[in-house]
Amino acid sequence: MINRVLIRVKVVQMLYSYQLTRPERTFEQALNDLQASFDKSYDLYLYLIKLIPELTYVEERRLDDAKHKFRPTDCELNPDTRFVDNRLAQIINDNQDIEKLFRDRMISWNDDPVFLHLLLDKVRHSEVYEQYMQLPHTDLMSDTELWRQLLRKVILDDEEVEEQLQNRSLYISSEDMDMMGQFAIKSLSRIADGDPEPIRPMFKDHEDSVFGQELFSKTVRDMDDNNVLIDSCVRSERWDRERIALMDRIIMCAAITEFKCFEKIPVTVTLNEYIELAKIFSTPQSGGFVNGVLNAVAQELRERGRINK
């Protein structure tokens, strides 16, 4: 679920935050905050799936209220219940394992009915919804595709939804929204197909579950040595070592830690991942700069016998 791409993102963000807030923030506090950020990312994935039965229920109540108001129209007395009867929403609602997971992790939208009503209005006025309601007939496949498209084109693309989810946790970022959103969309097909474990665990395996904590801890431990190595590989005629951005240093230190301490991760994978992080989190020139320095560092470590992969 939380893959190594997102783990690296969160480790780099936490390293940067830790460097700015130490010594007031202890190493143990930063490590706990890192784990909390993983927990909140996983909760985000569950919140997105939970929206499906929640919005369905809100629509059911809306139709019922309209039916019982003073002088309802014929359309209100005989509403189209296709959306309310959506088969995927019913499967999620009836799945006891999924419901237990929601309950155990306290995943609920009950505290924000106004947001749900506003989001339902956006769903009902979307092109995705209108096309679905005009289909000659529906089945589980079309019901599932409705929610895949609503998540992709309406819910995840809405700034107010992102803001609402970020208000639930300071740890939720745009990167979380993009990645957890894609995982949620993929999970809908597994739910519809009857997968016995449609909701994936937080991490794929034990190795991934400890990767973030180990990467953070070892990068902090080796920060000074890694910075010395970085400085030795910076070409002084092109770059001023004293003006290297803190984020660039953080990214390169984490990458160097991977070079040295994680034998199963190929050097090329590490290089590609951290060059991309530099493009996202640092300056426009950082991608090329980090690429050049890390390649030089990798060569230096090979010559010292520190990289054997």
Distance CA 266, CA 281 (A): 23
Integer angstrom CA distances of residue 170 from 123, 167, 266: 26, 7, 33
> Going by C-beta distance under 8 Å and a sequence separation of 6 or more, which residues neighbour residue 104?
none
Residue 239 or residue 151, greater confidence: 151
- Report the pLDDT value the prediction gives residue 173, as an integer from 0 to 100: 85
Locate 170 and state its tokens. Answer: 């300071």
Mean pLDDT of the region 9-14: 96
For the stretch 177-185, contacts whose Cβ atoms lie closer than 8 Å and that sit 24 or more positions apart, written own/partner, are 177/44, 179/3, 179/5, 179/6, 179/41, 180/41, 180/42, 180/44, 180/45, 180/48, 181/48, 181/151, 181/152, 181/156, 183/1, 183/45, 184/45, 184/48, 184/49, 184/151, 185/148, 185/151, 185/152
- Report the pLDDT value the prediction gives residue 29, as an integer from 0 to 100: 97
Asked if the model's pLDDT at residue 298 lies above 80, the reply is yes
> Going by C-beta distance under 8 Å and a sequence separation of 6 or more, which residues neighbour residue 64?
none
Asked if the model's pLDDT at residue 143 lies above 70, the reply is yes
pTM: 0.91
pLDDT digits (tens, 9 = 90+) for 219-232: 999 999 999 999 99
Locate 292 and state its tokens. Answer: 């050049």
Other C-beta atoms lying within 10 Å of the C-beta of residue 269: 13
Using 50, 70 and 90 to split pLDDT, how confident is the model at 238? low
- Report the pLDDT value the prediction gives residue 167, as an integer from 0 to 100: 85
Mean pLDDT of the region 249-270: 96
pLDDT digits (tens, 9 = 90+) for 117-141: 999 999 999 999 999 999 999 999 9
Other C-beta atoms lying within 10 Å of the C-beta of residue 2: 26
Domains in the chain (CATH in brackets) are 4-192 (no CATH), 222-304 (1.10.940.10)
pLDDT digits (tens, 9 = 90+) for 78-93: 999 999 999 999 999 9
Other C-beta atoms lying within 10 Å of the C-beta of residue 59: 21
Distance CA 139, CA 91 (A): 13
pLDDT digits (tens, 9 = 90+) for 24-44: 999 999 999 999 999 999 999
Asked if the model's pLDDT at residue 237 lies above 60, the reply is no
* Omega within 30 of 0 (cis) for the link into 72: no
- Report the pLDDT value the prediction gives residue 239, as an integer from 0 to 100: 62
Helix (H, G, I), strand (E, B) or coil at 243: helix
